[in-house]
Chains A and B, each alone.
Chain A
């Protein structure tokens, strides 16, 4: 494989990895606090894409972005309140089934409202600027994605480590009942977690869909699952871990396709999951106390 092709693949890989990382953070945060695999997270990401399509149709993009951001966060928090809160004291299985149910509902809702045909994602002007360096081609969004991811992760870690809310989040993820006893408003913390997760999903969706250019109702399912694997890979509950996991998966998947094994790209993701669970269930960065959410 020529150097240029390798570089091109590398760009694709880290861009994909960045998008995965942003979504994986959402999974890991929710799991850290609620011990819940939020199957619906991938679909929130998909709905954010649709919201954007409709928002941009009626208003300029710089107004649309904050609106959609707000809507996505609202969606995430509402789902938590309606579908997860009543089941907090129920056995773990029930809440996971509820998550699957919400995911199913969102997909069917999207199919009903927007039809199964793909819709074009609006082009945010400066993001789609193409760069050609010799044989290498990329659009601005491909290049920005990894940097934006790392920046956001950094911001998030500061939030976790240096603010009161962050401290509350860490406390709740460490010990749910005791935190309640110590006066931490659990509902607020959980809502805040979902809000942050949805926010990141929104950013991820902007980056991902601008690159992919169309949205359809099932755009969120497979990335959702893969991002959960990324979160496990990095160590569930650890944000930097989720980011690293996302990048590893994105690059690994691209590498597989580059080598001609595209048939197994999905299988590869799950194989990694199983290997991780077998040999290092806490993930690459699990057990790092200070960074856990």
Chain B
């Protein structure tokens, strides 16, 4: 989006490729065995692959175990308040078209305290990538029920087992108006890298939900999706549009109803890209409004426009 003035020179010559070493910051404070380590390692790989200008990457987060993420990534970044990292990050994206904005958070941040923000930033289709590390429990505050805790799960706030119907994350994300919705599992590194890379390249609001086990407070939560623990990692096969008979059975990610049907499958459900469509981003739409306004004012200088405004109220 061409908002104010172009800020950075387009492509600095002969830039050294981004390496994991350059991207590593503080040592993570997560518990040993936490699923979030694998997400972090995958994110380094995604950034290495994308090889964006280092200073133009922004890593943001809200509050929670997973939201410690920005401290462990050496990029510009921020640790905002609980649940509101999306509107904050949307401000970054809309204010600066030259930046690449990644937002990390957990199920509490995304589906509970920040649920409303998720809906609205998604429907506005602000250009950024949001990764939800879902562990189905409040870990930082030491085991309370989360919005994705399954019925019957015993926590300190539900000692006899959770009684409130949990959020279906994929259905909620599809309903939000996000234009790229994918799901992955923290034990499947290559799949995570693929999903996050595709999300990062998607123009618009892209979101990847990653099941990331809390070994401390909800061990085994996602074993059903982990083949090494006897579960099934069922991949979504996307349509190849090759006219083959088997293609008819494959998933069309532009088919919203089909995506909702996938989201309705019983636990642990499928993994992969549920939904992917092109819709004008808010960044583009705002840029168009600016272009039209500038045309109307014949690209007058800021000073000339303000002087004209005051002249009208003399």
Determine if chain A interacts with chain B. Answer: no
Interface residues, chain A, with chain B CB atoms under 8 Å away: none
Interface residues, chain B, with chain A CB atoms under 8 Å away: none
